[in-house]
Amino acid sequence: MGLRILVFLAVLMGVTGSPSVTITPESASADMSAYPNSVPETAEETEIFGQQKVLIVEEAEEDVMATGELNPDHYPAQRAAKVVQHYLNTRYGSPYRLFGLHGVHSGNAEDVADSGRKYQLEISVQEFISNNTEKCSAEVLFPRGEQQRSPQVQASCEELLKINTEAQEEAFYQQYKTNQSLLSADLPDSYGNIDPGMEPLWHLGAVASSYIMLHESTENTLYSMAQVTNITQLATENDQLKFDYHVLLHEMTSQEIVHWKLLFTWSPSEGVKVLQMEQLPRCQHCAKPPNTN
């Protein structure tokens, strides 16, 4: 019997409107962590601009370690394809270039000796700001071993990489490089809105967050950025803009919302350079337990 589940799935924003979202995993009618290898067979989608997409899905089971040809709609293929999105953002993302997974067309998985498991994928990738989409080939290797290592990715999306954003990036850089008062803001604001002039900072947070999600991704995870809760611009003596971000990431399999702190720099010539990634406690304001030793 099919099990109908209401899932709140955080995805990256588009190009107009407000990217506000409220995520309450406990409100889902069933705990997805009880079905780590369960995947949507069919889905009715209601997309809310910004980050939130509501899926009403029919549940079906599939072994996450399946080999050979994969169902493009099932978790194994979707998880590997999502890693490609994070890889593209870390390599080519900017305040005016933000990549997202648009769809998976085909997938194949195989064990590679002692190296790990390799996924061959045909996917569609969307560049959200220009709203261009391209079919891309990609390969993802999840390394095997006791110590977790980042997936190794190769992807070919040549047409999307030809989108020229140099003028917008240079204007953004000069605006904040010459800013007399360093920026401090919450995105969205207390009313759930983002001023259009602040959207590039939201995009920059999504790009920087992909560094965390790429590093943390395994065959058992499915990450998306849920929210930027705070941005602080920091002083710097070199030619890089420097930012401190507090972001919320949604791990779809466990339905957990994870807090991370990101310290990074950005410039048009150097792109994003992450200096520090720190996972924050679930309860940010809880006092530490007394030392009973």
Domain ranges of the chain: 4-279
Q: Tell me, what's the pLDDT at 283? A: 58
Give the integer Cα–Cα distance in Å for 42 and 274.
Answer: 38
pLDDT tens-place string over residues 141-160 = 999 887 889 999 999 899 99
User: What sign has the CA pseudo-torsion 91, 92, 94, 100?
Assistant: negative
How would CATH label the architecture of 4-279? Answer: Roll (3.10)
pLDDT given for residue 192 in this prediction: 76
Contacts of 83 (CB under 8 A, 6+ apart): 140, 151, 153, 214, 217
Measure the CA–CA gap between 77 and 13, rounded to whole angstroms. 22
Q: What is the pLDDT of residues 176-200, one digit of tens each?
A: 998 767 788 777 777 778 888 899 9
pLDDT digits (tens, 9 = 90+) for 92-134: 999 999 999 999 999 999 999 888 999 999 999 999 999 999 9
> What phi and psi values does residue 290 have, to the nearest 5 degrees?
-65, 150
DSSP 58-96: EEEE--TT--EEE-TTSHHHHHHHHHHHHHHHHHH-BTT
Q: Give the model confidence (pLDDT) of 236-250 as tens digits.
A: 889 999 999 999 999
- Alpha-carbon gap, residue 53 to 239, rounded angstroms: 38
Tokens read off for 244: 């401190």
